[in-house]
Amino acid sequence: MKTYLKQLILNSPSQQITYADFIGAALYHPEQGYYIKEKQKIGRQGDFITTSNISDVYGRIIAKWFSRLCDSAKIEPVFCEIGAGNGRFAQSFLQEWNETVKTPLKYVIVETSPYHRKLQKELLQAFPSVSQITSLKEMQMFDGVIFSNELFDALPVQVIEKKNGQNYEVMVGLENEEFIEQMIPLENQDILNFLQESKIVLKENQRIEVPLAMANMLKDISSVLTRGLVVTADYGYTNDEWMEPRRARGSLRGYYQHKMIDNILQNPGEMDITTHIHFDYLIQKGEQVHLRCITKLRQDEFLLKTGILEELENHYDPNPFSEVSKRNRAIRSLILPSGMSAYFHIIIQQKGLSLSENEVFTL
C-alpha cells in the first residue's frame, strides 16, 4: 500500500494528493485497501467494535420496529443494509424476523468488501431471503428501508485548516520517503461551497474535515429509494459542536487493535480510518435529493422509543451468569448514559412519505 500511495503522489502534477485520495486508497484499494483485505476488523480480535457486536438485541429490536412500520406506514418489507460488516446485525435481525414476524421479507446487503461478503455469506446461509450486491448502482428502485451503521464515518474526507488568517487545504506529500502534510491555499470550489452552505467560518488554527463524498452517497441512496425511510446510525457533530474549542483539531483518527492513532499517514492499509460526520450537512444534502429529515436522536433515545425496555421487562433471571442476565446487561449498556449509545445518533429521513416522529415510533 505504501508503494502504491508513493507512486500516486509522485505521478501527480504537484507531487501531492488530497487527504480524500489518500484515505480512499488506504481503505478501498481493490487489493490492498484496509476494508478489502482478508483480515478481521470488527470485534475483540479486530481493530474496532460496533453496536451490533455487543449484543444481538440491537438487530432484533430494529427488526420488530421495522415490522411495525411495515404495518402502520404501509412500507414494503424490503430492508437494505449498506456496509454490513461481519453480518452480525443482519443475523440478529433475520432471526427475530423469522421467529416473531414470519411474513415474507427481502433483505439486501450492499457490501464492497469481498472479505466481508464471504463472512456474511457463511453467517447468513440459513436465510434464503438475503441477497448481496457490491454497489447501490446494481439495485433497482424499491420501496422499503435503507439502513447503515457507521457508513458515513468511513467515507474519504478532505482536510482544511486556517493559519495566519487564511484557509488552506491540507495535502499529503513525500519527504525522505515518508508521508507528510503540506499546505496549499484553499481554492477547491467544492470545499468553498461546503463552507458557505454549512455557514462554517474557521477560527485561527482550527482544522476540520470536509465530507464531499457524503453528498454523492446520499444521491445514490435516494436514486434507488422510491418510497420509504433512510435510517443512519453514526457518530458526529452539529455545526455548532464543531466550533467548540476542544474540537479545533478535527476528528480524523485511525484505529488499530482498539488503540487510537492520531497520525493516519502511518501504516496505510493496516488500520481503520474514521471521522466524525457532519450531521447538519447530512440533513441538508439529504433534503436536496428529496430525503426529508424526520428526526435526529441519540441512539439510546432511539432504542427507548423502539421499545427496548420491554426486552428487559419480559426477560428476567436472578442468575447473574445466565444467558438472559448477560443479555440484560447488554441491553443496559445500550441505554445507559455512560454506554456506547451515548456517542451515536440515529438520523431518520423519509422519501415519498409524510410521517411525523410520533408516527414513526407508534408501538
- Alpha-carbon gap, residue 13 to 276, rounded angstroms: 31
- Alpha-carbon gap, residue 97 to 70, rounded angstroms: 12
Q: Given this model, what pLDDT does residue 298 score?
A: 93
CB 346 within 8 A of CB 277: no
Q: Given this model, what pLDDT does residue 172 score?
A: 98
Alpha helix ranges (H) inside 48-188: 57-72, 88-96, 114-123
**At what angle are helices 189-198 and 279-288 packed, to 10 degrees?**
100
The residue type at 160: I
- Alpha-carbon gap, residue 191 to 282, rounded angstroms: 15
Select from 3.40.50, 3.30.60, 3.30.160, 1.10.10 the CATH code of 51-156+295-360. 3.40.50
Q: Is the dihedral of CA 216, 218, 222, 224 positive or negative?
A: positive
**At what angle are helices 114-123 and 88-96 packed, to 10 degrees?**
30
Cell numbers for 123, please give them: 453467517
- Alpha-carbon gap, residue 48 to 176, rounded angstroms: 32
- List the pLDDT tens digit at each of the 363 positions of the chain: 889 999 999 999 999 999 999 999 999 999 899 888 777 656 555 555 666 666 788 999 999 999 999 999 999 999 999 999 999 999 999 999 999 998 999 999 999 999 999 999 999 999 999 999 999 999 999 999 999 999 999 999 999 999 999 999 999 999 999 999 999 999 999 999 999 999 999 999 999 999 999 999 999 999 999 999 999 999 999 999 999 999 999 999 998 887 888 899 999 999 999 999 999 999 999 999 999 999 999 999 999 899 887 776 555 666 666 676 677 777 777 777 767 777 899 999 999 999 999 999 975
Rg (CA), the chain: 21
Cell numbers for 352, please give them: 415519498
Q: Name the pairing type of β-strands 272-274 and 253-256.
A: antiparallel
CB 107 within 8 A of CB 133: no
Q: Given this model, what pLDDT does residue 317 score?
A: 63
**Coil, helix or strand at residue 207:** strand
Nearest CA to 94 among 135, 142, 85, 104?
A: 104
Q: Given this model, what pLDDT does residue 133 score?
A: 98
- Alpha-carbon gap, residue 145 to 350, rounded angstroms: 9
**Coil, helix or strand at residue 217:** helix
Neighbours of 55 (CB within 10 A): 21
- Alpha-carbon gap, residue 222 to 254, rounded angstroms: 30
Interacting residues of 40 by C-beta distance below 8 A, sequence separation 6+: 46
Nearest CA to 342 among 301, 288, 312, 281?
A: 301
